[in-house]
Amino acid sequence: MAEVPEKPTLDGLEARWQERWASDGTYRFDRTHDRAAVFSIDTPPPTVSGSLHMGSVFGYVQTDCIARFRRMRGDQVFYPMGWDDNGLPTERRVELYYGVRCDPSLPHDPAFEPPETPDRKRPVPCSRPNFVELCLRRTVEDEQVFEALWRQVGLSVDWDLTYTTIGPKAQRASQRAFLRNLARGEAYAAEAPTLWDVTDQTAVAQAELEDREQPGAYHRYAFRPVGGGDPVAIETTRPELLPACVALVCHPDDERYRALVGTTVTSPLFGVEVPVHTHELAQPDKGTGIAMICTFGDLTDVIWWRELDLPVRNILERNGRLRAEAPAEITSDAGRAAYAELAGKTTKQAQVRIVELLSEAGELQGEPRAITHPVKFYERGDRPLEIVTSRQWYIRNGGRDADLRTALLDRGEALHWHPGFMKTRYDNWVGGLNGDWLISRQRFFGVAIPLWYPVGADGTVDHAAPIISDEASLPIDPSSDVPPGFRADQRGEAGGFIGDPDIMDTWATSSLTPQIACGWEDDPDLFDRTFPMDLRPQGPEIIRTWLFSTVVRSHFEHGHLPWTDTSINGWILDPDRKKMSKSKGNVVTPVDLLERHGSDAVRYWAASARPGTDTAFDEGQMKVGRRLAIKLLNATKFVLGLGEGVTDIDPAAVTQPIDRALLARLADLVEDATDAFAGYDYARALERTEAFFWTFCDDAVELVKGRAYGSLGPEAAASAAAALQLSLSTLHRLFAPFLPFVAEEVWSWWQEGSVHRAPWPDAAALRSAAGDADPLVLEVATAALTEVRRAKTTATRSLRTEVTSAEVRDRPDRIAALRLAADDLRESGRIASLDLVEVPDSALEVVVELAAPEPA
RNA sequence: GGGCGCAUAGCUCAGCUGGUUAGAGCGCUGCCUUCACACGGCAGAGGUCAGGGGUUCGAGUCCCUUUGCGCCCACCA
């Protein structure tokens, strides 16, 4: 127990208590408890390659408030922290940070060091192992920065329970889960048209797409019917894909083109003969009503290609440039000459050139018509996605299987959503899936697909018969590890083997955070005590990725949900950029704000935002939070200074009606806050606690402080002191989840142990101490005191001014209640003569006569 | 095109299952340097609860509708 300081301050609290919590193991998970006593939280592993911004602090603080509440309420809280460090974001960061580029064809160079001064325009190529080594080096440093921030903001995670998504535990779990998916037929490989990012040269999944409005133009040109007749015009935004055209399509009911259906037409410039088909998806009112199908311009092309059983005429390389070789179907010299003009160009360059060619050939009808239209992008990319055909790994997710989809929708139904309306996003997403989950990526820094393939005597790779590692050997890297039954020198040789070159998408690992954190298969004892978990807190934007994919994996592996509840935080709205960073010239970072306002103040802002509600970034709220923390210091100092000092608080000493009324109000507060917290509504709990605290300071303390100093004798003083101390003890604990630093500080002045391990206040005990208290006593006394203050303020006199006489008029029941607090009112109002008058059906009225001012 | 959310004081937001004169904080104005607190305190001004209709004894709260904003989804030639 510490002394109450002479001059309480918030300065230095963060550093002091952070260190103390670490050395005392205040938040250590005790794994001797069984599942029923444990509350386990599937904390979002932040992407460490990203920048620290207030959005992260916002959500994590809200979760921490819940965690602290559960811990105080007696749950054994399992609160680990992961770092999401694998995947493309880290590769990007490393490329820029070190000025390097991964070239998997290079051999490992043990002496490789990145350039002293990175030249981003001319990155230095390095081998895949060297590149991965740099990624690991960088992420370790990033993770330290994140951990420091989380400690500073006071997250009560158990820092012994950290994991990374590139670490061996995560690699083992994701490879094991993948192999089991494969064994059960839930994972499969397929050669199929795939959305492809030409910058990063990797496939991307449906969940990582976003639409962006882009300028484009309709270009109009015509195909010539082989059997003669009028040319048939089409309109397209992708004229450069003309050499990849495999058919035209119109709606089956479209009279205009009926005669053409079943015939063939030839393309302009290239003279390739293609059939005319019908399909329901062709829209008569779009363009000319008849469209060219290319392999592949967009996802509709893929549907048409599949359903109309069309051939592939591929002209696009994986780097987004047109192939050097013209498609075999272009046979004419003129056609091949035209294609040669396009070969090697990007789609954008090719579009410019083909429009010139069409125009020169007189094939272009009219001027291109400018439009804006939505185009699919990889969410982290800056060039439109193309569609290329490639061999990829998929995990089933209901996108092609109605039964599975229904089962996953049912899982969403069984999950408890906070707030409930967020479930709609899940339903929309699952209901709108149009393909399985593509998990393979043609990248370097990630968990490898744990497979090899036999290479036949003729040198061909047999993808249909993968060589599978046993689970005990995981994690493996098929690019360096040798499969059972083979020698290292057989890699890539006839009769040997070859490793799958791909890695898994980061979500294929992140979707297993409950399994990774809880020690799935690695630590069965821990797993039994923590899984399935209780809570998944996260942002709304990753319901379709992280939340959904986690449900999918758990559904397959365990046959139930990975957690019972999910809380979805809101979004931070940038209030107005003009006011913040720009004009003042300083970008606001979390660290900056934490240092300026203090951790408790920033937490107060975050915890004030209701669950799932978008919130404006508001430094004003942080100032309010800081003021609240300071008030807590001062109010505590004052109450602890009353009377004889504090030993044990004796609830039975609370005898005065107004003191008991205070305890009754306190019991109400505890019930409110507890109910709110139990429903994951931390913001409501904070709001109630704060509102009570201010009236406690302004009114309750003011009313009873004279008596507490002994003006009405020792018993009355003891009653006031006990009631105030009981209130204080309760308030310290109610504030602890929100303002952990200041709450710990004030608690330490008069209590043993950490407030964060203290029991959550018990409403029933307070209720019993309050006995048959009439809440009106406190209510009317407060109202009357406010009126007396008002009279003094209106007269522009000091609150110290003596009141020669005051007459309080109110309803009989209220006057009766006030009579029980008359002495306290007289003293706090400095009232010489107090009259209480019963007036039926009247509202409170106080007539005050002030003492004459002192002569100047 | 479908869906979700939001719209309450100048600003940021409460108002949970409909119930007496609609609340808080910030900001603003005034007063008070009170023996916990000037990193204060006390008090005051300020609102046709987005518009329209309906249910009800009674609607900020429920239903319908219009408008505006944010977000999600959709096959985007």
pLDDT digits over A415-449, tens only? 999 988 899 899 989 988 888 999 999 999 999 99
Q: Quote the strand ranges of A695-830, DSSP E.
A: 803-810
pLDDT score, position A522? 96
Residues 636-695 of A with CB under 7 A from strand B: 637-638, 641, 684, 687, 691, 694
Residue A331 has pLDDT above 90, yes or no: yes
Residue A645: which residues within 8 A CB-CB, separation 6 or more?
Answer: none
pLDDT score, position A110? 94
Average pLDDT over residues A566-586: 59
Residue A414 has pLDDT above 90, yes or no: yes
Phi, psi (degrees; rounded to nearest 5) at A193: -65, 135
Q: CA of A418 and C1' of B8: distance in angstroms? A: 24
Task: For residue A845, say whether its CB is under 7 Å from any atom of strand B.
Answer: no
pLDDT band at A856 (very low <50, low <70, confident <90, very high): very low
Strand-pairing partners, residue A309, are none
pLDDT score, position A52? 76
Q: What percent of chain A has pLDDT over 70?
A: 97
Cβ-based neighbour number of residue A589 at 10 Å: 16
Residue A584 has pLDDT above 50, yes or no: no
pTM, two decimals, is: 0.91
DSSP state of A86: -
Cβ-based neighbour number of residue A649 at 10 Å: 18
Instruction: Output the average pLDDT for chain A.
Output: 90
Question: What separation in angstroms does the CA of A40 have from each of A65, A84, A600?
Answer: 14, 19, 24
Task: For residue A211, say whether its CB is under 7 Å from any atom of strand B.
Answer: yes
pLDDT band at A574 (very low <50, low <70, confident <90, very high): low
Instruction: HSE, CB side, 13 Å, CA atoms: give it for residue A783.
Output: 17
pLDDT band at A575 (very low <50, low <70, confident <90, very high): low
Terminal alpha carbon distance of chain A: 49
Q: CA of A794 and C1' of B46: distance in angstroms? A: 19
Average pLDDT over residues A814-841: 89
Instruction: Give Dmax (Cα) for chain A.
Output: 117
d(CA A391, CA A453): 14
User: Comparing A209-223, A225-239, A436-450, A471-485, which segment has the lowest mean pLDDT?
Assistant: A209-223
pLDDT band at A651 (very low <50, low <70, confident <90, very high): confident
pLDDT score, position A710? 83
Residue A465: which residues within 8 A CB-CB, separation 6 or more?
Answer: A453, A454
Q: Which tens digit of pLDDT belongs to each residue from A346-362?
A: 999 999 999 999 999 99
Residue A590 has pLDDT above 90, yes or no: no
Closest residue by C-alpha to C1' distance, nucleotide B37: A634
Q: Are the beta carbons of A247 and A313 closer than 8 angstroms?
A: no
Q: In the numeric block, which tokens belong to residue A512? A: 């297993």
pLDDT band at A47 (very low <50, low <70, confident <90, very high): confident
Q: Which tens digit of pLDDT belongs to each residue from A118-171?
A: 988 899 999 999 999 999 999 999 999 999 999 999 999 999 999 999 999 999
- What is the SS3 string spanning A375-444? EEEECCCCCECEEEEEEEEEECCCCCCHHHHHHHHHHHHHCEEECHHHHHHHHHHHHCCCCCEECEECCC
Q: In strand B, which positions have an atom below 7 A from any protein CB?
A: 2-6, 12-15, 21, 24-26, 30-37, 39-44, 70-77
Q: Which tens digit of pLDDT belongs to each residue from A747-772?
A: 999 999 999 999 999 999 999 999 98
Question: Of A44, A64, A42, which is closest to residue A565 (Cα–Cα)?
Answer: A42
d(CA A568, CA A570): 7
Question: Of A617, A572, A574, which is closest to residue A597 (Cα–Cα)?
Answer: A617
User: Comparing A78-82, A270-274, A430-434, which segment has the lowest mean pLDDT?
Assistant: A430-434
Task: For residue A213, say whether its CB is under 7 Å from any atom of strand B.
Answer: no
Q: Are the beta carbons of A810 and A825 closer than 8 angstroms?
A: no
Q: Which tens digit of pLDDT belongs to each residue from A178-216?
A: 999 999 999 999 988 999 999 888 888 888 888 888 888
pLDDT score, position A112? 95
The larger pLDDT score, comparing residue A349 to residue A618, is at A349
Average pLDDT over residues A443-464: 94
Q: What percent of chain A has pLDDT over 90?
A: 65
Residue A721 one-letter amino acid: A
Task: For residue A827, say whether its CB is under 7 Å from any atom of strand B.
Answer: no
Residues 470-509 of A with CB under 7 A from strand B: none
Give this complex's ipTM. Answer: 0.93
d(CA A603, CA A690): 14
